[in-house]
Amino acid sequence: MRGVPRMSGRAMSVMALVGIVGVAAGHRGLSHHARKMSGTEVASINCIPCHVLPRVSGPLASLWNAEYASPLRLAVVPDGTLLVTAEEGGALFVVDPERRAVLDQIAVGGQPHSVITDARGRTAYVTDRWGNRVSVIDLATRTRVSTIPVGAQPGGMSLDASERTLFVANSGTNDISVVDLPSGRAVQRLPAGSHPYSVRGSPIDETIVVLNRLTSPVEHRAPPVTEVTLVDAATRRVVRRVRLDAAHMAEGLAVTPDGATALLTIARPKNLLPATQIARGWMITYGVALLDMTSGRVVQLLLDDVNQSYADPYDVVLSPDGRRAFVSHAGADVVSVIDVPALRALAAAIPDDSLARYANDLSASRQYVVARIPTGPNPMGLAVSADGGTLYVAERVADQIRMIDVATGRDRGVIPLGSPQRESFVRRGERLFNSAGHTAQGQFSCRSCHPEGHTDALNYDLEPDGLGRNIVNNISLRELSTTAPYKWTGKNVSLYRQCGFRFAKWLTRTAPYSQRDLQALVAYIMSLEHMPNPYATADGPLAVAAERGRTIFERAATNDGRTIDERDRCVTCHPPPLFTDGRMADVGTGADTDTQHEFDTPVLTNLAGSGPYLHDGRANSLEELWTRFNPDDRHGVANDLTKAQLNDLVVYLMTLGGARD
Amino acid sequence: MTDQGRGYAYGVIGVSALVVAGVLAGRPAVDEPDAAASRRPVGVETPVVAAPVPAARVIVDRWRTFTERDGLPSSKVFTVRAGDGRVWVGTDRGASYWENDRWHTVDTSDGLAHRVVLAIDVDPRTGDVWLGTLAGLSRWSAGRIDSFDQFNSGLVNDVVYGVAVEGARVWAATAAGVSRYDVTARHWEIFTEQNAPMHEPWTYGVHAADGLVYIAAWGGGVLEYDLATDQWRDYRDPDEEMEIDLFPDDGLVHDVTTGVAYGSGVLWVGTYFGLSRYDGLRWSGYFDHDSGLPSNFINAVRVRGTQVWICTDAGLAEFDGEVWVSYARRDDGRGSVTVRREADAPARTTPSAIAHNYVLGVDFAGDTVWVATADGVSRGHASGATTVAHFTTSTGNE
C-alpha cells in the first residue's frame, strides 16, 4: 500500500506485546485499585458503581440510569379514579382503573408523599416532603391551584368534618401543621411525637389520629416508645398521647368504620439484645397495634408466622364494612388479609397483664390472618375502590398498581405507570434495599432500619460479643459515598465490604448478595441524598447565630486567649464539606463495654434529624455532647464556652448541609 | 426590717440626701417621654388614673381553699395559672391542674424537671403548659412532659423563676439570665448582661403582651424588649440602692423587682419595697402607708383589664387606678376586705377568706379569681352582693 508506511512483522509483534503487557498491567492496576478501595478480594467490581452511576443525569447517563415514578400512596376519588403519589416522579398520577390507564400527571414538586381528597372528590391535597408544602389540586381541571407552606417533610394528612381545616404531619419538624383552608395558611403547629407520618380522621367524631413513625427520645438502653398523637379537630388541640411500647416504624393507619378502633402497623425491634437473635428468627417482629379510641388501651399482635417474618408492614386499609383489613408488607411482597372481628375479639380477651406476652406471640397470627396475597416488589400504599370490590396496591419499585379482588383475593392484573420497562442498575439496588428476601426467614430489609436510607434512631447491640457490649447508634446512609471508612469502628473500607460476605454471615444470616446484586445495592446506597435541612436558612436569627457558631467551630483560641492545639479544634476532625476527616479518633466517649475506644469520625451534615448522638447513641441532644460527655475537653476544647456560645455552636451544627430549596 | 434597722437606714438616707439630690438635679424631667418610650405601642396617652370607677364595684366575697387535704400534692403553692380550660398550680411537690372537679398532679415521675414548680404559663395556640422549676423548664402537652435543662438544651440556667409564652416562643426568667426558645425552629437564645442592659442577670419574672416583653430583674429593675425592633431598654430606680423612694414618682420605686405585668398601656412592677406604675409618660409609686397596698413586700403582680392584682406577704390587693380593694385572712379564719379610695377605710369581715396572707400568685378564669398562697390555693368569686357603693358583708361560703 503506497504512501502508508508498512509496519514490519517484528514491530507489530512488539506493539502487540506492549499492548498486552499494558492491558494486563492496567487491568492488574485497576483490579488492585478496586480491591483496595472496596476492601474486598473480588476482582469483578467495575468502575461504574463508584464513579459514574449513581448521581449523574443527562443523555449519556440515560444509557444506564432511568427515571421512575415510584408510586407511594393512593387515594380513591368517588368517581372511581385513582390518585397515586409518584415519590420519585414528582407528580400526582390520575389513573383510570377501568381502562388501566394513566389519565394525567400533575406536577406537585420534589417528593410527593400522601394524597387525600374531600368527600365529593373535587379537591385533592398532596404533600411534598422535599418542598415542605401541600399542593391543592382541582380535580375537575386536574391542575394545581395553590400551594400551602407547612412544616418540614410533610407526610400524611386529614381533613376535619367541615373540610375547612387540614391537619398535616410534619416528619422533619416533629409537629402537626393546622391549615386553615379558606385562607390557605398554616395557622398552628401542634407538637407531635417523633417523625409523625400518617394521619387519619375518625369517621364518627372530630378525632384526628396522628401516627408517629419513630421512637420518642428514651433513656439510653431503654426500649423504644413510639407515640400516637390524638388531636381534637374542633378545638385544634392535642388531647391524648398514647404510647406504643417496644414498637416503632409505625407507618400504616386505619380507623374502623365504627370509630372504635385504630389499626396501626408496627415493628417490634429487639435492639437491646445481641444480634445473635437473628439466627433464632427474632430480631425484628412485625404486626399491628389496636388502639381503643375511647380508653386509649393498646394491644399489639404480630402478623408474622413462626419461622417466617412479614417484614415492613407499611399501609393498612379496611374494607367498607370494616370486616377485613389489608396490610402491605413492603419487604415481603405480600398483603396480609386480617379478619378484623377475630382480631378485635382476641384483643378484647387479652388481660392487661398478658399484653406483653401476646405482643411477642408468633403463633397468634393464625387466629386472625386469613390470607397472604403475593404482590409485586415493594408493595406500599393501599386503597380500596369506592365499591369495595378492588384492593389497589402501589408496587413501588415495579412502578405499577396491582388490583386484587377483595372477595376472592384473586389478582386482577396491574396498571403500569409508564415508567421504563428496563430496570436500571441503581433501581435494582433500590429493589434489593427494600426487600427482606436476603435475610434469614425474611426478617428485615435494609429499609427496616434505614427508612428511605436514613436512620430509625435506634441503638443496636449488633456484634455477637455478649449482651450489652459494643452498642452502636444506627446512622443515616444518605450522602455516604465519600465518607469511608464505614461502621463506627471503621472496620469496613467500603460499602462493598459493609454489605458483602461478612455482612451476610454476621447479620443477614443467609446467602450473601451476588456480585452483581452487591454492586447494584452499593450503587443505590451511594445515590441516596439528604432531604433539605429544615434548619438551614439563608437569613434570620438562625443564620446570625449559626455564623457565630461557625467562628466557634473554627476557633483556634479559647475565650481567655490560650491557643487550642490544632488536634483539639472542631474543624480539624470535622472539615467541610461533609465535616469528617474520615479518620478514627478517641474523643473520650468510649464506654467500659466498648472493645475499642477509637471511632470513625462521623459526618455532621443534616445532624438535627439524625439523633441520638455519639457512637452508642447515649446523647439525646447535641448539647449533651459537651455538657455531659466531654468533661476533659477530649472531644474538642469546649469547656470554656459560655452557654450562649454553646447554643450558637449547636445552631451552626443544626444548619449544616442540605439547604432548603 | 426592724425598727432599729429602719432607723439606721433613714439616718443614712438623710445624710446622703443632699448628695443624691445633686445627682438627680441633672436628670431630665420625669414626665418627658424619652425616645425609647415613644416606641411603646400604647400608653403615652394613658392618664394616671387609668379607669373610671364602676358605678357598683363588685367585690370577691366567696372563697374556697384547696390544700393537700383536697388533693393537692402540697399546700405550699408558688404560682397559679388559668388557661385552656384548666387551672394549674405549682407547688413544692409538683404541679397540679384542676379539671373535672378534681386535682390531677404531675411530678418528677412523670418527667417534670423538678418537684418545685415556681412559674407556669399556658400557650394559647396549643394549650401546652410551660412550667418553670428549680431544675429546668418543662412542657406539659396532653399528658406528655418534655423537660429542658442546661445540660440537654440551650436553657441558660436550671433555676426558672418566671415563664411567659409569646407566640411560638417561650421566655424563661432564670437565676442567670433569660432564655428564649423558639419552639418551631428549636432555637435557644440567651439574654444576659452580655447582650442586654441587664445590671443583674438574676431574673425573677417575665411577662409578654402587646409586642413587648418585660423582665423583672432582682436587683436590676425592669427590662423591656420590643419584639418589633429587637431592642432592649431598662427601667431603673433613680434612687439606686436606697430602700425608700426618695423622690416620689420619679421612676421605679426599687431595683429589687419581683413581678411585672403590662396591660391597657400600663406597666405595673412589683418590688419588695412597693408598687410602681408606668403609663409611658409618668411613673407612680404606691406604698402600704399611702395606698390600699397591704404590704410593700410584693411577690407578684397580674393584670386583668384595667385592674392590677398585687400579691404581697400580707394579703392580696386589686387596684383599678381609683379604688383599692385588699383581701386578707384574719387569725380566726374569716376574711377581711378593705375598700378604700384615698383615706383609710375600715375593714369588713367575710366568713370565708383567702388561704393565707402570704400570697404568691393570682390568675383569673372568667369571673373566678385563683390565688396561690403559702398554705393552699383559693378560688374566689363575687356573689354580687358586695359592692363598693353599697358594701355589705357577705354571709355565704362555698
Q: Which amino acid is it at A228?
A: V
Average pLDDT across chain B, whole number: 84
Residues of chain A contacting B156 with CB distance shorter than 8 Å = 643-644
pLDDT of residue B49: 35
Quick check: A644 and B127 CB within 8 A? no
Per-residue confidence band for A26, with pLDDT thresholds at 50, 70 and 90? confident
Please enumerate in sequence order all residues whose Cβ is within 8 A of that of B94, keeping only pairs 6 or more positions apart, or say none: B73, B74, B105, B106, B107, B108, B112, B115, B117
pLDDT of residue A60: 64
Give yes or no for residue A134 having a pLDDT over 80. yes
pLDDT of residue A18: 77
**Partner B contacted by A241 (CB < 8 A):** yes
A541 → closest Cβ in B126, B183, B187: B187
pLDDT in tens, B126-183: 999 999 999 999 999 999 999 999 999 999 999 999 999 999 999 999 999 999 999 9
SS3 A551: helix
Mutate: best of A238, A244, A547, A645, partner B, most B CBs <10 A: A238
Q: Check if the beta carbon of residue A217 is closer than 8 Å to that of residue A223.
A: no
Query: Considering Cα of B107, then B112, then B118, then B124, what sign does the dihedral take?
Result: negative
Give yes or no for residue A387 having a pLDDT over 70. yes
pLDDT of residue B54: 45
pLDDT of residue A115: 98
**Least confident piece of the model among A229-233, A240-244, A436-440, A615-619:** A436-440
Residues of chain A contacting B154 with CB distance shorter than 8 Å = 623, 643, 646-647, 650
Please give the residue of chain B at the shortest CA–CA distance from A642: B156
Quick check: B141 and A628 CB within 8 A? no
**Partner B contacted by A16 (CB < 8 A):** no
Please give the residue of chain A at the shortest CA–CA distance from B176: A643
Per-residue confidence band for A481, with pLDDT thresholds at 50, 70 and 90? confident
**Partner B contacted by A188 (CB < 8 A):** yes
Contacts 24+ apart (CB under 8 A), B283-290: B283/B30, B283/B249, B283/B250, B283/B251, B283/B252, B284/B48, B284/B249, B285/B245, B285/B248, B285/B249, B285/B253, B286/B319, B287/B245, B287/B253, B288/B314
Residue whose C-alpha cell reads 406604675 in the numeric block:
B277
Phi and psi torsions of B242, nearest 5°: -70, 145
**Least confident piece of the model among A298-302, A442-446, B12-16, B191-195:** B12-16
pLDDT in tens, A404-430: 999 999 999 999 999 888 899 899 999
The Cα of B230 is separated from the nearest Cα of chain A by a number of Å equal to 11
Alpha carbon distance A477, A3 (integer Å):
61
pLDDT of residue A312: 98
Per-residue confidence band for A139, with pLDDT thresholds at 50, 70 and 90? very high
Alpha carbon distance A287, A336 (integer Å):
10
**Partner B contacted by A552 (CB < 8 A):** no
pLDDT of residue A262: 98
Q: Check if the beta carbon of residue A518 is closer than 8 Å to that of residue A44.
A: no
Closest C-alpha among B303, B276, B300, B318 to residue B204: B300
State how beta strands A225-232 and A207-215 pair: antiparallel
SS3 A481: coil
Residue whose C-alpha cell reads 379604688 in the numeric block:
B323
pLDDT of residue A500: 77
Give yes or no for residue A338 having a pLDDT over 70. yes
Q: Check if the beta carbon of residue B206 is closer than 8 Å to that of residue B217.
A: no
Quick check: B151 and A623 CB within 8 A? yes
Alpha carbon distance A385, A130 (integer Å):
29
pLDDT in tens, A140-191: 999 999 999 999 999 999 999 999 999 999 999 999 999 999 999 999 999 9
**Partner B contacted by A233 (CB < 8 A):** no
User: CB count, 10 Å around CB of B170?
Assistant: 25
Compare B125 and A37 and report the one with higher pLDDT. B125
Give the residue-averaged pLDDT of A95-116: 96
Quick check: A238 and B142 CB within 8 A? yes
**Least confident piece of the model among A474-488, B49-63, B140-154:** B49-63
Per-residue confidence band for B345, with pLDDT thresholds at 50, 70 and 90? low
Q: What DSSP state is assigned to residue B239?
A: T
∠ CA A500-A504-A505 to the nearest 5 degrees? 120
User: CB count, 10 Å around CB of A182?
Assistant: 7
Alpha carbon distance A525, A453 (integer Å):
7
Compare A510 and B255 and report the one with higher pLDDT. B255
Residues of chain B contacting A644 with CB distance shorter than 8 Å = 156, 190, 192, 194-195
Please enumerate in sequence order all residues whose Cβ is within 8 A of that of A71, keeping only pairs 6 or more positions apart, or say none: A84, A85, A86, A87, A93, A380, A381, A394, A395, A396, A399, A400, A401, A417
**Least confident piece of the model among A464-473, A597-606, B373-382:** A464-473
pLDDT of residue A100: 97
**Partner B contacted by A608 (CB < 8 A):** yes
Give the residue-averaged pLDDT of B42-52: 35
Q: What is the dihedral of CA B211, B212, B213, B216, to 10 degrees?
A: -160
Alpha carbon distance B368, B362 (integer Å):
11
Residue percentage of chain A with pLDDT more than 70: 93
Peptide bond into A577 cis (omega under 30): yes
pLDDT of residue A283: 87
The count of residues in chain A is 661
Alpha carbon distance B214, A622 (integer Å):
30
pLDDT of residue A505: 75
pLDDT of residue A414: 98
Please give the residue of chain B at the shortest CA–CA distance from A173: B184
From first CA to last CA, the distance across chain A in angstroms is 64
Give the residue-averaged pLDDT of B10-18: 34
Give yes or no for residue B3 having a pLDDT over 50. no
Q: What beta strand segments (E) does A534-616 contain? A: 584-585, 599-600
The Cα of A311 is separated from the nearest Cα of chain B by a number of Å equal to 31
Per-residue confidence band for A484, with pLDDT thresholds at 50, 70 and 90? confident
Within 13 Å and on the Cβ side, how many CA atoms surround B283? 23
Give the residue-averaged pLDDT of B3-16: 37
Q: Check if the beta carbon of residue B152 is closer than 8 Å to that of residue A624.
A: yes
Residues of chain B contacting A194 with CB distance shorter than 8 Å = none
Closest C-alpha among B201, B88, B190 to residue A644: B190
Query: Considering Cα of B380, then B384, then B386, then B389, what sign does the dihedral take?
Result: positive
pLDDT of residue A635: 96
Quick check: A643 and B154 CB within 8 A? yes
Q: What DSSP state is assigned to residue A1?
A: -
Alpha carbon distance A456, A213 (integer Å):
9
Please list the residues that pair with A127 across neighbouring strands.
A134
Residue percentage of chain A with pLDDT more than 90: 75
Q: Check if the beta carbon of residue B350 is closer than 8 Å to that of residue B61.
A: yes
Quick check: A191 and B187 CB within 8 A? no
Quick check: B154 and A175 CB within 8 A? no
Residues of chain A contacting B168 with CB distance shorter than 8 Å = 189
Q: What DSSP state is assigned to residue A492?
A: B
Alpha carbon distance A372, A311 (integer Å):
13
Helix (H) or strand (E) holding A262: strand A261-269
B190 → closest Cβ in A238, A239, A643: A643
Q: What is the 3-state secondary structure (H, E, C) of A356-376?
A: HHHHCCCCHHHHCEEEEEECC
Residues of chain A contacting B123 with CB distance shorter than 8 Å = none
Give the residue-averaged pLDDT of B2-23: 35
Quick check: A229 and B195 CB within 8 A? no
pLDDT of residue A287: 98
Please enumerate in sequence order all residues whose Cβ is within 8 A of that of B147, keeping only pairs 6 or more positions apart, or say none: B111, B112, B113, B136, B137, B138, B139
Phi and psi torsions of A628, nearest 5°: -120, -30
SS3 B308: strand
Average pLDDT across chain A, whole number: 91
A643 → closest Cβ in B127, B156, B195: B156
pLDDT of residue B28: 33
In the sheet where B376-381 sits, what is the strand order?
Answer: B62-66, B376-381, B368-373, B359-365
A647 → closest Cβ in B84, B151, B188: B188
User: CB count, 10 Å around CB of B93?
Assistant: 17
The Cα of B132 is separated from the nearest Cα of chain A by a number of Å equal to 19
Give yes or no for residue B30 having a pLDDT over 60. no
Please list the residues that pair with B91 across neighbouring strands.
B77, B94
**Partner B contacted by A614 (CB < 8 A):** no
Alpha carbon distance A573, A566 (integer Å):
9
Quick check: A650 and B154 CB within 8 A? yes
Give yes or no for residue B20 having a pLDDT over 60. no
The Cα of B154 is separated from the nearest Cα of chain A by a number of Å equal to 6
Within 13 Å and on the Cβ side, how many CA atoms surround A656? 24
